[in-house]
């Protein structure tokens, strides 16, 4: 081997050591993930190869003996561990009453403010819908569906997105490598990628990262609806639920079979509310098992013609 070839080999080895490659297709929290590559001068090769995804989105094939594995939990802060554990004994659910939505968009504004999002970034969006040409349009808030069988979690190669035992699907952008596999896997289009510096990036740079709030945000990572996990820890309703002026949202604990309306503060039985109003889930035929339920837009309090798409109503 020539001197140039030797230098090229050493440079490539050093590059891979510094890069930090992550194994493709590894499951979420608790699973062994690839933390990096460790090469010795006299490397022993096996017959097995492993495909690895780098932080810049390139896929490499390396010898399996070169890969050093660690567990997800071994490199976490206390806030990250707490965020993954969730609230014991709880099983959070949301019910959205489409008959009451007047497109006030207060839910969107409150969420954007809490999570330091740009005006064009949404954890929750209010869509104008129409079931057929012969029916009146209506408005539908659409947050992450917090699936019990989330495809986004199964495709994440680094355990950055995970399902908590109390219901929410969270994203840890300290672990996120920006591969966007979860974006492609989500059938609800519920994830947002930071193509540019997040809002308030400079102001938030010294903040301690809280995975339950997902602040501070980072360029090149994913952000999404978290069921306001930081508020749940304080015994409070989610930001969107509290901000809505029209009583659109119900939120509560399925284990206790109770949900509370964010506007009226009325508490009612969760299962009874679903039964009495013909509740449904979005694309439930996919088997994702959403934790967000919708009440159909019957007996609407106001027609969309009385609520222009971009006008806010108190």
Contacts of 86 (CB under 8 A, 6+ apart): 164, 165, 166, 167, 168, 229
Which of 11, 45, 75 is at the close of a domain?
75
Range of the structural domain that residue 43 is part of? 3-75
Same domain, 56 and 134: no
- Classify residue 248: in a domain, yes or no: yes
Same domain, 93 and 110: yes
Same domain, 48 and 167: no
Which of 23, 42, 75 is at the close of a domain?
75
What are the pLDDT tens digits along the chain (314 aa)? 555 544 444 444 444 344 444 444 333 333 333 333 333 444 555 567 767 666 566 677 777 666 555 455 556 788 888 899 999 999 999 999 999 999 999 999 999 999 999 999 999 999 999 988 888 999 999 999 999 999 999 999 999 999 999 999 999 999 999 999 999 999 999 999 999 999 999 999 999 999 999 999 999 999 999 999 999 999 999 999 999 999 999 999 999 999 999 999 999 999 999 999 999 999 999 999 999 999 999 876 554 444 444 444 43
- Counted residue by residue, the chain has a size of 314
Same domain, 247 and 104: yes
Instruction: Give the predicted TM-score (pTM) of the model.
Output: 0.75
- Classify residue 160: in a domain, yes or no: yes
- Classify residue 87: in a domain, yes or no: yes
Same domain, 62 and 208: no
CA 81/CA 169 separation, integer angstroms: 14
Same domain, 117 and 213: yes
Same domain, 70 and 84: no
Same domain, 106 and 225: yes
- Classify residue 238: in a domain, yes or no: yes
The answer to whether residues 95 and 295 touch, using CB atoms and an 8 Å cutoff, is yes
Which of 48, 75, 102 is at the close of a domain?
75
- Classify residue 145: in a domain, yes or no: yes
Please, which residues bridge with residue 163 across strands? 169
Same domain, 192 and 275: yes
The answer to whether residues 63 and 49 touch, using CB atoms and an 8 Å cutoff, is yes
Domain count, the chain: 2
């Amino acid at each position: 081997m020539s001197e140039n070839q030797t230098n090229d080999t050493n440079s490539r080895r050093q590059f891979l050591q510094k890069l930090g490659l992550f194994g493709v297709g590894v499951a979420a929290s608790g699973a062994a993930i690839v933390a990096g590559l460790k090469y010795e001068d006299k490397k022993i090769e096996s017959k097995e190869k492993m495909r690895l995804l780098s932080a810049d989105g390139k896929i490499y094939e390396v010898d399996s003996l070169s890969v050093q594995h660690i567990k997800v939990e071994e490199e976490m802060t206390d806030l990250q561990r707490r965020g993954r554990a969730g609230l014991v004994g709880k099983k959070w659910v949301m019910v959205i009453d489409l008959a009451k939505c007047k497109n006030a968009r207060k839910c969107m504004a409150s969420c954007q403010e809490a999570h330091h999002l740009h005006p064009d970034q949404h954890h929750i969006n209010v869509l104008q819908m129409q079931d057929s040409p012969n029916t009146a349009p209506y408005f539908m808030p659409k947050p992450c569906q917090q699936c019990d069988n989330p495809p986004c979690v199964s495709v994440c190669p680094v355990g950055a997105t995970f399902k908590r035992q109390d219901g929410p699907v969270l994203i840890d952008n300290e672990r996120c490598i920006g591969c966007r596999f979860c974006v492609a896997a989500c059938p609800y289009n519920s994830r947002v990628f930071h193509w540019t510096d997040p809002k308030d990036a400079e102001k938030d740079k010294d903040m301690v990262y809280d995975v339950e709030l997902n602040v501070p945000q980072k360029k090149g990572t994913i952000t999404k609806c978290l069921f306001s996990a930081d508020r749940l820890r304080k015994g409070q309703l989610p930001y969107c639920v509290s901000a809505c002026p029209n009583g659109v949202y119900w939120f509560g604990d399925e284990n206790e079979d109770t949900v509370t309306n964010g506007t009226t503060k009325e508490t009612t039985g969760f299962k009874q509310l679903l039964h009495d109003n013909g509740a449904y889930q979005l694309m439930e035929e996919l088997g994702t098992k959403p934790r967000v339920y919708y009440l159909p837009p019957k007996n609407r309090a106001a027609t969309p013609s009385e609520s222009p798409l971009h006008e806010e109503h108190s």
